[in-house]
Amino acid sequence: MRTEVNKEKLIESTMELADKGFRELFPFLPKEWLELDLTAGQLRALLLLYTNGPTRMSDISSALGVSMATATGIIDRMVERGIVIRESDSNDRRIVRCRVSREGEKLVSGLWLSWSERAKVLLRALDRPRLLAVRGFLEAMLEAGENTRGQW
């Protein structure tokens, strides 16, 4: 039982450090991220579609935790901007799937590229042992993600 208490304390102190890191590194975010002309809901929907591929409107609504009408409004505005495409299912025309357009893919890729360039600056400032520690952390988090898939 003591081990579990110590582990929870370690998790809490790690999260406090992550919070401090986020606050300290927020100014490090690329200006492109701060200049996005997207609402939070639109950005969430774009990232959802980018990572999941073509998705039904009902699944978008559920994943975003909003009503179907709200999800439809979010997607409508993104379709108007040309970053999302709405398509009917060839097997069942009642089903509508949304996917990221080529323009939307460019937008997300540009965000990743601008962030990765900034991250490289930070990584280059680390000595080899710390760089290996960061790499080990990322490998461990990816493994934990695989092991907990579907739990959240």
The CATH number given to whatever domain includes residue 130 is 1.10.10.10
Mean pLDDT for all residues in the chain = 87
Which of 107, 51, 109 is closest to 78 using CA atoms?
Answer: 107
Q: Residue 74 and residue 68: Cα distance in Å, rounded?
A: 10
Which residue range(s) make up the domain with 54?
36-147
pTM over 0.85? The answer is: no
Q: Are residues 70 and 129 in the same domain?
A: yes
Q: Are residues 7 and 61 in the same domain?
A: no
- pLDDT tens digits along 42-89: 999 999 999 999 999 999 999 999 999 999 999 999 999 999 999 988
Q: Is residue 152 part of a domain?
A: no
Q: Are residues 58 and 114 in the same domain?
A: yes
Q: In what order do the strands lie in the sheet with 55-56?
A: 55-56, 96-100, 84-88
Better pLDDT: 25 or 90: 90
Q: pLDDT > 70: what percent of the chain?
A: 90
Q: Is residue 64 part of a domain?
A: yes
What is the pLDDT, as a whole number, of residue 151? Answer: 72
Better pLDDT: 146 or 149: 146
What is the pLDDT, as a whole number, of residue 29? Answer: 63
